[in-house]
A and B are shown apart, each in its own frame.
Chain A
């Protein structure tokens, strides 16, 4: 029912590399994206991150492109608002709508382009992390960074049960569709409510059984986590450093260039 990015992370070619290094690369690229002043560095990040994710991590290209559609509607709507509201500079485009003059000026258009570029650069970096780093490795990094035990445990249990409930939700949904539970708005609403209600009750009962199961296995307030053995290779660290330096240089050198 949902393509969870985590499924792809487990079969990626970069699964076995150091999670810290992958997080460093992804987060570094994200931060450079949001701090760059022109669209050039974010576009560079979007392109290179996509190439890394498809080329090196071997994520299926077709699936990757469907992912890129997710941020599209938000990016276009919000940048549209910014483009129309942000004046200054020459008028590029104007339309008279029901007596309101809507116009796009230079500054607005530039800012909107920057925002779209940043969103795509950021999303591509996020996809890189999501498609190469299984959630369990992210937990172990967080744990080594000093996140309290109960929060790590809580997140891991949540992670486990997300898959259980998604399966159950899919089963219930299929059963409802087969019985025409999605015919018309009223039925759809009712089906959706039944699905959520049953899911909550199942979740609750699952939780009650989980307590017993955990007690039976001597749960003492801490789940042990297997630390990943993967350590970063010097060559990989070097490559990541070079990449971040190149992107910073691009962001710095192009900071005064205007596209429009």
Chain B
């Protein structure tokens, strides 16, 4: 969920930039090292970034009828890990602001923090936890995308609540109000995005399981078992 341009006061914009940029810089540092080792990865990262952008610009079938866009960062985190996803996300967010007028430039720091850092980290942790417990791959992808979305939306609500605390009840009351208002679109949206992500993985496993192996997303045994199950 994007915070629109102009909504956050100046000092909050600066603060969220200050929190996001070090993480993105670390991601860029890691990405640079990986690209130096294996130059083939730059074009693949670029097309993946473009894929995340296009995925997030597609309108999702939404239950509430509102126009809703997926974040796509959950999938990014599963495929590339959270650090690289943070770099891809900030670039995608700049494109979204300038191409589609979603989000903005002063709020870029805040949006990067919620959608490019917290969401992917949560998604990645959920995915890893599921894989360690031998949960079905598709269920793991579903849960990772779901929680990545939900945490993005929780963090956005916290950001809005911190900037505009309620007169009675302070930040907490304000947080609950933002959470409640945006729940109407964000809760079903996350479930739909989770389902779509899981189905997306099913197609990838069936058609190009080797891509997932190359990215070290799942072990060969799991991919093989899933391919046999669907064959």
Q: Which residues from 157 to 178 on chain A have a C-beta closer than 8 Å to any C-beta of chain B? A: 157-162, 164-166, 169
B contact residues, range: 35 or more
- The reply to whether A67 and B7 contact each other, CB–CB distance below 8 Å, is no
Q: Is A123 in contact with chain B by the CB < 8 A criterion?
A: yes
- The reply to whether B207 and A150 contact each other, CB–CB distance below 8 Å, is no
Number of interface residues, chain A, beta carbon within 8 A: 86
B200 CB contact (under 8 Å) in A2, A119, A150, A193? A193
Please indicate the chain A residues that have their CB under 8 angstroms from the CB of B164 in the complex: 81-82, 85-86, 111, 115
- The reply to whether B204 and A88 contact each other, CB–CB distance below 8 Å, is no
- The reply to whether B4 and A74 contact each other, CB–CB distance below 8 Å, is yes
Binds B, one of A12-20, A197-205, A237-245: A197-205
Q: Is A90 in contact with chain B by the CB < 8 A criterion?
A: no
Q: Which residues from 108 to 145 on chain A have a C-beta closer than 8 Å to any C-beta of chain B? A: 108, 111, 115, 118-123, 125-127, 129-130, 135, 138
A67 CB contact (under 8 Å) in B87, B101, B167? B101
- The reply to whether B4 and A122 contact each other, CB–CB distance below 8 Å, is yes
Interface of B is mostly: helix
0/1 interface trace, chain A 83-94, chain B, CB 8 Å (1 if under) = 011111000000
Closest beta carbon of chain A to B15's beta carbon, Å: 13
User: In the complex, what distance in Å separates the CA atom of A198 from the CA atom of B83?
Assistant: 26
Residues of B within 8 A of A (CB): 2-10, 13, 28, 31-32, 35, 39-40, 42-51, 53-55, 57-58, 60-61, 63, 66, 87, 91-92, 94-95, 97-102, 104-106, 160, 164-169, 173-174, 177-178, 181-182, 192, 195-196, 199-204, 207-208, 211
